[in-house]
């Protein structure tokens, strides 16, 4: 395992410093002076402390964001300059990619190579993508009247929704913060970002980049604290025009209820219980590796994780055995170890949740093919787990576990799949593995999911809309749809 001495100097300095919140362009503690410890999930050890904000701190952040929006300090820069600022943030992310990947790995537990190879580049790519959109926000014109009606010119304006509260989760902290901040800033909004209480470090570093890139004071505010205090205050605050939330469906319902106090707009990216469907005619070697990656990536702490595996009966034993073999070979350990392929869960609470689901599955009749146990007595590690003999009425098949636990089930005919795959309250992602293009595209239309992969499992991309059906959320992030979430449309009619 890596020791603190192995960290880059910039990371050691960042962790050693007094971490504060960004409000109105200044770094400040919580009004109460309270702080909360941040831990490394690979060891359970405290690596930093951050302010524990409450309602008074959220009031300050909202006041700063509201003033910046009402005084148009961001809008006055003009679309081209806003785009340049976003591009500069992307450059700063790339220039500090190694340090950011270390912070992400220390704070979240994901392997350093995954953070460096995927999470950090996706964040910078998102800022660059929306930097280009800043100059391409247009309305439309219409000639109205005639037939005895008065002549009019009609046109629409696309305007920023206003002050946005953003609440992001702990599983991909920097990337998901970028998914929200970049389009909101391109649209001209001002923002209050609250990272998860477990993983605030890269968000605070992102705040430093925003200031360095030229974001005016009050346009980006970053507050740290717990969901039931700081997050709840954001959701209910009357000075906020929109809340963008990524997290569990249970908390999403609470967000909606709190936002109803002033009918603020809400976008939600919530849970998933995504099916992976493998047909006999698939490239079984690729499908096996793909199914394993779909569930064991980031220790299964991914909203799109392929946690339900349906394999056509003739190939079922071979594919399940293959996924189990991949699971057995995975190097589980500290994310800072270059050889680690799967890191820890985020917390002891999450560890106990995952182990609890495995036990309930066994009690209901599931068979553990591999894994199913805690690894070691330090940190929050669970072995990658494959379950057989699972059925649709088991909790391990119905409920989101958010851990490296795969429920496997055989099927006989392709016609069975739409009902099986859609038999969930979620609808975030799915994948289909087959060489038959007609079958693949036909099934993609029938699956009730926001993203469908054909011979790959869902991979979010800045260009492609991302979001869910059913209880997996409201709205979309990424792509042009992600920008729309932060814009209002105004109609203007002119008598001629």
Going through 52-183 in order, the beta strands assigned E by DSSP cover: 141-146, 149-160, 163-167
In eight-state DSSP terms, residue 215 is P
Roughly what angle, to the nearest 10 degrees, separates helices 97-108 and 9-16? 50
Question: What is the rounded distance in angstroms from the CA atom of residue 487 to the CA atom of residue 130?
Answer: 13
Strand partners, 245: 167, 268
pLDDT at position 150, please? Answer: 87
Query: For the residues 275-282, what does the mean pLDDT come to?
Result: 98
| H-state helical runs in 260-312 | 284-296
Instruction: Kindly report, residue by residue over 362-390, the tens digit of the pLDDT.
Output: 999 999 999 999 999 999 999 999 999 99
Neighbours of 461 (CB within 10 A): 15
Task: Report the b/e string of 30-57 with b at 16+ CB within 10 A.
Answer: beeeebbebbbbbbeeebbebbbbbeeb
- Assign a CATH topology to domain 275-461: Aldehyde Dehydrogenase; Chain A, domain 2 (3.40.309)
Instruction: Kindly report, residue by residue over 116-127, the tens digit of the pLDDT.
Output: 999 999 999 999
Collect all residues with Cβ–Cβ distance below 8 Å to 33 and sequence separation of at least 6. Answer: none
> Is a pLDDT exceeding 60 seen at residue 174?
yes
Confidence of residue 1 (pLDDT cuts 50, 70, 90): very low
Question: What is the rounded distance in angstroms from the CA atom of residue 104 to the CA atom of residue 178?
Answer: 14
pLDDT at position 425, please? Answer: 97
Q: Where are the domains of the chain?
A: 4-270+472-492, 275-461
Instruction: Kindly report, residue by residue over 77-109, the tens digit of the pLDDT.
Output: 999 999 999 999 999 999 999 999 999 999 999
Alpha carbon distance, N-terminus to C-terminus of the chain = 74
Q: 50 to each of 13, 35, 219, 223, how far by Cα in Å?
A: 15, 5, 21, 10
Could you give the angle at the alpha carbon of 167 between the alpha carbons of 307 and 47, nearest 5°?
85
In eight-state DSSP terms, residue 203 is H
Give me the sign of the Cα torsion angle 448, 452, 454, 455. Answer: negative
Confidence of residue 145 (pLDDT cuts 50, 70, 90): confident
Collect all residues with Cβ–Cβ distance below 8 Å to 359 and sequence separation of at least 6. Answer: none
Query: What percentage of the chain exceeds 70 in pLDDT?
Result: 99
Question: What is the rounded distance in angstroms from the CA atom of residue 95 to the CA atom of residue 102?
Answer: 14
Structure tokens belonging to residue 389: 């003999």
Instruction: Kindly report, residue by residue over 176-199, the tens digit of the pLDDT.
Output: 999 999 999 999 999 999 999 999
**Weakest mean pLDDT among 283-292, 293-302, 420-429, 452-461:** 452-461
Structure tokens belonging to residue 160: 């920023």
Query: For the residues 406-412, what does the mean pLDDT come to?
Result: 98
Q: Mean pLDDT across the chain, nearest whole number? A: 96
Structure tokens belonging to residue 216: 């005016």
Collect all residues with Cβ–Cβ distance below 8 Å to 376 and sequence separation of at least 6. Answer: none
Question: What is the rounded distance in angstroms from the CA atom of residue 186 to the CA atom of residue 86?
Answer: 8
Confidence of residue 5 (pLDDT cuts 50, 70, 90): very low
Element (H, E) at 277: strand 275-278
Instruction: Kindly report, residue by residue over 230-247, the tens digit of the pLDDT.
Output: 999 999 999 999 999 999
Query: For the residues 398-409, what does the mean pLDDT come to?
Result: 98
Specify the residue for token string 């302010």: 51
> Is a pLDDT exceeding 60 seen at residue 2?
no
pLDDT at position 356, please? Answer: 98
Q: 302 to each of 25, 81, 110, 281, 346, how far by Cα in Å?
A: 33, 35, 11, 28, 12
Pairing of strands 35-39, 46-51: antiparallel
pTM of this prediction? Answer: 0.96
Pick the CATH number of 4-270+472-492 from 3.40.605.10, 3.90.870.10, 3.40.50.720, 3.40.50.150: 3.40.605.10
305 touches 294 (CB < 8 A): yes
Confidence of residue 148 (pLDDT cuts 50, 70, 90): confident
Secondary structure (3-state) at 190: strand
Collect all residues with Cβ–Cβ distance below 8 Å to 484 and sequence separation of at least 6. Answer: 476
171 touches 302 (CB < 8 A): yes
**Does residue 199 come out as left (phi exceeding 0), alpha (psi in the -120 to 50 range) or beta?**
beta
205 touches 100 (CB < 8 A): yes
Going through 389-474 in order, the beta strands assigned E by DSSP cover: 405-411, 429-433, 451-454, 473-474
Residues annotated catalytic, as ranges:
269, 303
In eight-state DSSP terms, residue 386 is E
Q: 414 to each of 120, 399, 440, how far by Cα in Å?
A: 39, 24, 10
Question: What is the rounded distance in angstroms from the CA atom of residue 293 to the CA atom of residue 477?
Answer: 23
Q: Which residue has the higher pLDDT, 91 or 18?
A: 91
């Amino acid at each position: 395992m890596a020791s603190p001495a192995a960290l880059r100097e910039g990371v050691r300095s960042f962790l050693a410093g007094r971490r504060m919140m960004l409000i109105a362009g200044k770094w400040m503690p919580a009004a109460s002076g309270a702080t909360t410890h941040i831990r490394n999930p690979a060891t359970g050890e405290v690596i930093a402390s951050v302010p524990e904000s409450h309602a008074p701190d959220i009031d300050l952040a909202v006041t700063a964001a509201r003033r910046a929006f009402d005084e148009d300090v961001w809008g006055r820069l003009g679309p081209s300059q806003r785009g340049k600022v976003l591009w500069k943030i992307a450059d700063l992310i790339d220039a500090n990619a190694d340090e950011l990947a270390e912070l992400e790995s220390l704070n979240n537990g994901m392997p350093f190579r995954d953070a460096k190879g995927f999470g950090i580049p996706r964040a910078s790519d998102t800022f660059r993508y929306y930097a280009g959109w800043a100059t391409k926000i247009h309305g439309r014109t219409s000639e109205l009247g005639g037939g005895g009606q008065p002549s009019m010119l009609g046109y629409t304006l696309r305007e920023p929704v206003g002050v946005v509260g953003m609440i992001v989760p702990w599983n991909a902290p920097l990337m998901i913060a970028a998914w929200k901040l970049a389009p909101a800033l391109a649209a001209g909004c001002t923002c209050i970002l609250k990272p998860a209480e477990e993983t605030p470090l890269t968000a605070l570093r992102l705040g430093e980049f925003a200031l360095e890139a030229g974001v005016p004071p009050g346009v980006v505010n970053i507050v740290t604290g717990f969901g039931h205090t700081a997050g709840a205050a954001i959701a209910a605050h009357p000075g906020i025009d929109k809340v963008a939330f990524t997290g569990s469906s249970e908390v999403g319902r609470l967000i909606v209820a709190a936002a109803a106090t002033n009918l603020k707009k809400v976008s939600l990216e919530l849970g998933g219980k995504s099916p992976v469907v493998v047909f006999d005619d698939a490239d079984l070697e690729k499908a096996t590796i793909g199914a394993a990656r779909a569930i064991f990536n980031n220790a299964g702490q991914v909203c799109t994780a392929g946690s339900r595996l349906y394999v056509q009966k003739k190939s079922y034993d071979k594919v399940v055995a293959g996924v189990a073999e991949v699971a057995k070979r995975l190097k589980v350990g500290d994310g800072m170890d270059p050889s680690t392929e799967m890191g820890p869960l985020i917390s002891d609470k999450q560890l106990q949740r995952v182990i609890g689901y495995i036990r309930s599955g066994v009690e209901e009749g599931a068979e553990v093919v591999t894994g199913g146990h805690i690894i070691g007595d330090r940190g929050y590690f669970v072995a990658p787990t494959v379950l057989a003999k699972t059925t649709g009425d088991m909790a391990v098949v119905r409920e989101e576990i958010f851990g490296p636990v795969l429920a496997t089930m055989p099927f006989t005919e392709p016609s069975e799949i739409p009902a099986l795959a859609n038999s969930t309250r979620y609808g975030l992602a799915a994948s289909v593995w087959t060489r038959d293009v007609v079958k693949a595209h036909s099934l993609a239309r029938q699956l009730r999911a926001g993203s469908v992969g054909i011979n790959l499992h869902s991979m979010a991309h800045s260009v492609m809309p991302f979001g869910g059906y059913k209880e997996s959320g409201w709205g979309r992030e990424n792509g042009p749809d992600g920008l729309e979430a932060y814009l209002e449309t105004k109609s203007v009619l002119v008598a001629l």
